[in-house]
Amino acid sequence: MAYIEGEQRGQHTLFPTTLDELISKDHVCRVIEAFVDRLDMAKLGFVRSEPAETGRPGYDPRDLLKLYLYGYLWQIRSSRRLETECQRNEEVMWLRPEGYAGDISRVVVNNCKFNSWSLMRLYTTNGSPSKFRINDVKVSNCSGRLAEAAFLIGLTNGSNPNSVASLTVSDCWLTAPTILAIAENFGTIILKNVTHVPSQSNVVWVPPQPNHVSGFLRSSPLYGRVTSVGSSLQFENCAVFRNNDIDCAAVVLENDSRIENVAVNGLAMQGNYAPVPVLLDVGGGSIGKVVLDSVDSPNFKSPVSPPEFSNIGLVSRLVYWQLVGSSLTL
């Protein structure tokens, strides 16, 4: 007689596709949520019942209270135990604070140093029907080394137009494979007095990836073939500081992604290395209009490689471009 055996781990099974389907309609977690959501947190003395106007967003005290009540009911009184449950217990995953779900009007981050995977992650959809909007993000006077990207913007296809409406990054010095890893539709991104130090990625770039070029902005290397559309990207007195021979560009577009307007008013390439091939690498994407006001052209061999000119609708504002053995006037 054989032992009772379960299904093989490699056997395909159909699990519920969302956390909500794992939690029954009469589950105690739903009671906890309904109870806490009806409380007046300010009257109960929660000093952070409303989010602050500035600084890094914190956890909603309602979410933390839900987590505490769950632990009380199940005799989990250790904060370390609760942290472990957040990672393995689907009931707590349903209750736990997993970022803010909803529209965000304003985020401000100032005077910070980072040594992390990323400086900020901005997601408005994860592929589910729920889609949100982030209106205004400002980051200034920050520095650090980021392993993935400084800003991971988006996870997957399907975000609303201009879902990240406005992002302004100013007076920052950031070492990263890319400053902006884009996988989501955006409105206006302004980079002002930002120095990018290109670095090798410390994570696997998900295929398909036609190239591994580092850039101020590139289609996100972390989520495969994701297409995005942006309204406006502006460079103001920015610089690329090369302390190695990593190939880099200002913009790298792939996966049929598009930016309607790109304006460059001050972009320098620093470091004692050979000029990089192009300013704009748009082999797998397109740009509607490019305005080149001030570019350190000797350190870029060309604004864009000749075969890719057809991917740019209009180039305006004349600048002189010195090429190897010839010259090009835009």
Q: Which two tokens stand for residue 9?
A: 């781990």
Percent of the residues in the chain that have a pLDDT greater than 90, as a whole number: 29
Q: How confident is the model at residue 262 (pLDDT cuts 50, 70, 90)?
A: very high
pLDDT of residue 330: 43
Return the pLDDT at 117.
Answer: 82
Tokens (6 digits) for 54? 């500035």
pLDDT grade, residue 47 (50/70/90)? low
In terms of phi and psi (left: phi > 0; alpha: psi -120 to 50; beta: otherwise), the region of 266 is left
Q: What is the structure's pLDDT at 311? A: 79
Q: Is the preceding omega at residue 208 within 30 degrees of 0, hence cis?
A: yes
Q: Which pLDDT does position 38 carry in this prediction?
A: 84
Residues 156-175, mean pLDDT to the nearest whole number:
94
pLDDT at position 82, please? Answer: 81
Higher confidence at residue 180 or residue 93?
Answer: 180
The answer on pLDDT for 141 being more than 70 is yes
Tell whether the model's pLDDT for residue 316 goes beyond 50: yes
Residue 166 has pLDDT above 60, yes or no: yes
Of 108-112, 209-213, 245-249, least confident by mean pLDDT is 209-213
Which of 26-30, 104-108, 226-230, 305-309 shows the lowest mean pLDDT across its residues? 305-309
Examine the pLDDT at 128 and tell me if it is beyond 70: no
pLDDT at 317: 58
Of the ranges 7-11, 13-17, 214-218, which is most confident?
214-218
259: alpha, beta or left? (left if phi > 0; alpha if psi -120 to 50): beta
Q: What are phi and psi of 235, to 5 degrees?
A: -110, 130
Which pLDDT score, from 0 to 100, does residue 313 have? 78
3-state secondary structure string, the chain?
CCCCCCCCCCCCCCCCCCHHHHCCCCCHHHHHHHHHHCCCCCCCCCCCCCCCCCECCCCCHHHHHHHHHHHHHCCCCCHHHHHHHHHHCHHHHHHCCCCCCCCECCEEEECCEEEECCCEEECCCCCCCCCCCECCEEEECCEEEECCCCEEECCCCCCCCCCEEEEEEEEEEEEECEEEEECCCEEEEEEEEEEEEECCCCCCCCCCCCCCCEEEEEECCCCCCCCCEEEEEEEEEEEEECCCCCCEEEEECCCCCEEEEEEEEEEEEECCCCCEEECEECCCCEEEEEEEEEECHHHEEECCCHHHHHHEEEEECCCEEEECCEEEEC
Instruction: Summarize the confidence of residues 229-256 as an average pLDDT.
Output: 92
Q: Does pLDDT of 320 surpass 50?
A: no
